[in-house]
Structure 1
Amino acid sequence: MQKIVHVRPLDDVIGHEESHECPCGPTGKGVSNPATEKVVGVIFHHHGLHPCHEWEASSL
């Protein structure tokens, strides 16, 4: 089972959806198990429109 984690800024000028369709254009990065090189999840890091100080990570 693949895990998906979204890392979103909380104090940005816009709200960020827990989706790769979010208007901020989050980039996804695969996370793999070093022993098997199998991808076990994806981290979507959302881009703040201005410097943000508060972030939240949530898994789906």
Structure 2
Amino acid sequence: MHKVVHIRPVDDVISHEEAADCLCGPAGEGVYAAATTQAVGLIYRHHALQPCREWEASADA
């Protein structure tokens, strides 16, 4: 089962959708099991449109 985590700025000028097609164009990064090259998840790092001090992470169920 693949897990997806979104890291989003909380205090940005826009509200960031918990989706790969958010307006900020988040970059996806694969997470791999240490013993194999099998992908076990994906982390989307959302881009802040202004300097932000608060960030949150949330995982898809």
Aligned-CA RMSD value: 0.4
Which aligned segments of 4 or more residues in structure 1 are displaced greater than 2 angstroms? none
Deviation string 1:2-54 (CA, Å, 9 cap, x unpaired) is 00000000000000000001000000000001201110000000000011000
Unpaired runs of 5+ in structure 1?
Answer: none
**Match of residue 55 from structure 2:** 55
TM-score by length of structure 1 reads 0.98
**Distance in 2 separating the partners of 1:16 and 1:46:** 8
**Distance in 2 separating the partners of 1:46 and 1:30:** 15
TM-score by length of structure 2 reads 0.96
Aligned length in residues: 60
**Match of residue 42 from structure 1:** 42
Give % identity: 58
Q: What letter is aligned with 2:9?
A: P
